[in-house]
Structure 1
Amino acid sequence: MISTHSSTAPDEIFHKWTPAWSPDHTDPSLPPVTLITDTHDQPAYTTTALAAHQPEHGRIAVHPTPLATAPAYLAHDLIRALGKHLPAPHIDPPWWTSNADESWRVAVAWTQALNISHYVICRAHRITGRHLEHLMALRERTRIRLTLVVSGPAPAALSTTLNTVAHHQIDSIQDTRQHLNADQAPTPRTLASYAWWQRAPFPGPHDESWYELPPRPRRPAGKPDEVTSSTRGTPTRLSSTDSQPPAIALQTFTRADTSSAHLETVAQRIHTRVAHPVHAAAVALRALTGYGTDQLAQLTIPTPHRPRADLPTDLPDWARLLRDAARIHTDLQGYIRHDLTDRLSGEDTPFRLSAWDKNDVAHATETCHLVAARVRRARQRP
């Protein structure tokens, strides 16, 4: 609970959600955990579980990375299963990928924003006790259905956890198939509303088209230099059309009912290549409006009580979802004060970007093959 006393310490005011779970605080109304036991490690169980991966029905199947024991790794596996790519091994990773708490906040934000209702975890006997605790914390926060597929005897950590929560067990392939199809929505979500399901190639090919961002708005004021630094300290300047092949200019967004093939391509790239929801939303707004990374932290989004804002209310569906995902993550970070009035709560400010975040947004912009608009200086009179 957040205290409203005037002398409350900052750490108590801004309370971040962390992937901490305790059996003593488990909500008994959550859907029971399903344990599928594959005693003899038959391939049919894993094949059936992976075939249950149907994002249009809100069901995601995850095959954890073998022998990956670091606390953040299972969160990364969930993020990848949602169609988001982390940087390739030869690319300096964003700071948050090595932080377990932040990685799980990213997984929670995407889970809620994408309306995921069911996770199926294959080879669950290989995940560590720490991973299991984080997964149960995600279940508590998002209220998802959770199915664990275990090949062979259940490890001690899993048995101990299941003894503290409501669960049921399945031990036949017929019951497994019936269970995994039981939550199938009668009317799946239309692909037209989820353009990113048509994934862009990752990484982007060298001959991929580049797009030039719309002209930078004059307000809010800021420093327009797009200088970024990698985690190894190597200075990197965001590419401009002066150093890249001719780019296709993106027009400033005007109405949600106007679409273009260029923006659809950009949407697919962002949803595929940018794994952090705040960074993805930032790149999307840059592509639609031309704002620089230095301006993002000052922008406001519409809220029910404060409809006037810097950003339009009628964003395209794909960008509005990213905006919502960013807001969920901002809330998980503890930056939204629900105990204050709407004007002071911070609900309308989705981008709280540190220096590292600005670097990551700039790199993500370039990863999507987007370049800053050229500065067109007026001619000086002789």
Structure 2
Amino acid sequence: MTSTPCNAAPDETFHKWTPAWSPDHTDPGLPPITLITDTRDEPAYTTTALAAHQPRLGRIAVHPTPLATAPAYLAHDLIRALGKHLPPPDIDPPWWTGNAEDSWRVAAAWTQALSISHYVICRAHRITGRHLEHLMALRELTRIRLTLVISGPTPPALATILNAVTRHQIDTFEDAHQHLNQDPSPRAPASYPWWHNTPFPAPHDEPWYELPPCPRRPPGAPDETTISSHCTPNRLSSADSRPPAIALPAHTHPDTPSPHHETVAQRIHTRIAHPVHAAAVAIRSLTGYSTDQLPQLTIATSQHPRADLPTNLPDWARLLQDAALIYTDLQQYIRHDLPAHMTGENRPFRFGARDRNDVAHATETCHLVAARVRRARQRS
């Protein structure tokens, strides 16, 4: 086991969390990295590691995409291992998936919001040096336990990183099996209802839901045709081919959940990988707000107790909102020493046109449609 260098002084001008790591900024108080060495590349090691995947216990096993070198790929693998799908190849992806820093912020936000405490990374010898550095940065931020399964010789990039951190090495299958099957204290939210995934993409005969009527305040335009992030028409089914939509009731009380909303919650978890977009669709399903209204919505604060968003959200929606707030804090530092209304902290959906478009597309991906606008009759 090696010693860990001392922490360097934090950068007071740091505004965004980036997946950057260096040996000089390693926290000696982090749990040691467990290194499982499988020099003969025996399939039993990988099989046992993948079987250790227990989201309810906060333990996630990840099999990285083979030969993937783009900086965002490992973050996408972590997001998928959390049960969240990115769009299939024939659908234009949301803008953030091509950005490594945003992808790692998404992975970090879900890791913290879902109380993930342990990542098991299979075939870690195939991960690039940059991916390893991003993974180390995630470990520093979230303080997770990290197990790396090395199926073959340890590459130089990984050896360099391991020399800078505290580690524990396991060399036998029996010890690896015991380590991977330890029962940690449950940390995942007990009320988290979505570990059972819904189909993705949605089957063509899946029921559609109509959002509650759009509130009049704050003012906003009704939703119109959705376009993809590359400004091309989406490939969702047309309105003419959809079955009649089931009207969703507006949210009234968290103790009386609608079974329809529970179905919607499972769709949101499975089909929306970005925490802010997932929280936005959840609020739309409960309140009917349009995508134009979302950036104007406020939450209650001590200085401004009146708010647009309900305070008694169901647990599944509150958890999504927590994940969105974590992502927002990672995306841009907020001055917590100032009143929330002066920094924008009381506005949970601070996004621009491309985010609104992605939220609109995600809404339809979950087979949700805006309520039909019922125009008042003209008096003769």
For normalisation by structure 2, the TM-score amounts to 0.93
Amino acid at match of 1:109: A
Cα deviation, residue 74, structure 1: 0.2
Equivalent residue, structure 2, for 1:371: 369
Higher alpha-carbon deviation: 326-335 or 306-315: 306-315
CA contact (8 A) 2:72 2:97 kept: yes
SS of 1:60's partner is: strand
CA contact (8 A) 2:117 2:187 kept: no
**Of residues 195, 198, 201 in structure 1, which corresponds to 2:199?**
201
Say if 1:153 and 1:2 are closer, same or farther in 2 by CA, change over 3 A: closer
Equivalent residue, structure 2, for 1:7: none
Describe the superposition over 1:169-217 as per-residue Cα deviations: whole angstroms up to 9, x where unpaired: 0011111122123352269864xx1211121110000010000000000
Cα deviation, residue 233, structure 1: 2.5
CA contact (8 A) 1:35 1:148 kept: yes
Cα deviation, residue 243, structure 1: 6.3
Cα deviation, residue 337, structure 1: 2.0
SS of 1:149's partner is: strand
Equivalent residue, structure 1, for 2:127: 127
Amino acid at match of 2:146: L
Say if 1:187 and 1:269 are closer, same or farther in 2 by CA, change over 3 A: closer
Mapped partners of 2:292, 2:237: distance in 1: 16
Equivalent residue, structure 2, for 1:257: 255
Mapped partners of 2:273, 2:318: distance in 1: 16
Give the alignment of 1:74-85 within 5 angstroms: 74-85=74-85
Cα deviation, residue 349, structure 1: 1.5
Amino acid at match of 1:267: A
Say if 1:238 and 1:41 are closer, same or farther in 2 by CA, change over 3 A: closer
Say if 1:195 and 1:309 are closer, same or farther in 2 by CA, change over 3 A: same
SS of 1:294's partner is: coil
SS of 1:344's partner is: helix
Amino acid at match of 1:208: E
SS of 1:168's partner is: strand
Say yes or no: does 1:73 pair with 2:62.
no
Equivalent residue, structure 1, for 2:360: 362
Amino acid at match of 2:73: Y
Mapped partners of 1:334, 1:87: distance in 2: 26
Equivalent residue, structure 2, for 1:331: 329
CA contact (8 A) 1:2 1:15 kept: no
Q: Which runs of 5+ in 2 are unaligned?
A: 1-9
Amino acid at match of 1:165: V
Say if 1:187 and 1:131 are closer, same or farther in 2 by CA, change over 3 A: closer
- How many residues are matched? 371
Amino acid at match of 1:73: Y
Equivalent residue, structure 2, for 1:139: 139
Mapped partners of 1:166, 1:222: distance in 2: 53
CA contact (8 A) 2:294 2:349 kept: yes
Give the alignment of 1:1-382 within 5 angstroms: 15-185=15-185, 190=190, 193-235=191-233, 244-303=242-301, 307-382=305-380
CA contact (8 A) 1:62 1:81 kept: yes
Describe the superposition over 1:51-90 as per-residue Cα deviations: whole angstroms up to 9, x where unpaired: 1100000000000000111000000000000000000110
Higher alpha-carbon deviation: 327-336 or 270-279: 327-336
Describe the superposition over 1:107-138 as per-residue Cα deviations: whole angstroms up to 9, x where unpaired: 00000000000000000000000000000000
SS of 2:194's partner is: helix
Amino acid at match of 2:210: E
Amino acid at match of 2:22: S
Mapped partners of 1:109, 1:380: distance in 2: 50
Mapped partners of 2:369, 2:151: distance in 1: 48
Mapped partners of 1:348, 1:23: distance in 2: 37
Say if 1:333 and 1:194 are closer, same or farther in 2 by CA, change over 3 A: same
Mapped partners of 2:239, 2:149: distance in 1: 50
| Percent identity of paired positions between Structure 1 and Structure 2 | 76
CA contact (8 A) 1:226 1:238 kept: no
Mapped partners of 1:150, 1:57: distance in 2: 24
CA contact (8 A) 1:279 1:357 kept: yes
Mapped partners of 2:273, 2:324: distance in 1: 12
Amino acid at match of 1:375: V
SS of 2:61's partner is: strand
Mapped partners of 2:238, 2:224: distance in 1: 10
Say if 1:277 and 1:373 are closer, same or farther in 2 by CA, change over 3 A: same
Mapped partners of 1:150, 1:259: distance in 2: 46
SS of 1:297's partner is: helix
For normalisation by structure 1, the TM-score amounts to 0.92
Cα deviation, residue 26, structure 1: 0.8
Amino acid at match of 1:228: T
Mapped partners of 1:162, 1:65: distance in 2: 22
SS of 1:130's partner is: helix
Q: Which runs of 5+ in 1 are unaligned?
A: 4-11
SS of 2:309's partner is: coil
CA contact (8 A) 2:265 2:282 kept: yes
CA contact (8 A) 1:339 1:345 kept: no
Say if 1:258 and 1:21 are closer, same or farther in 2 by CA, change over 3 A: same
Describe the superposition over 1:245-276 as per-residue Cα deviations: whole angstroms up to 9, x where unpaired: 21000011011001121111100000000000
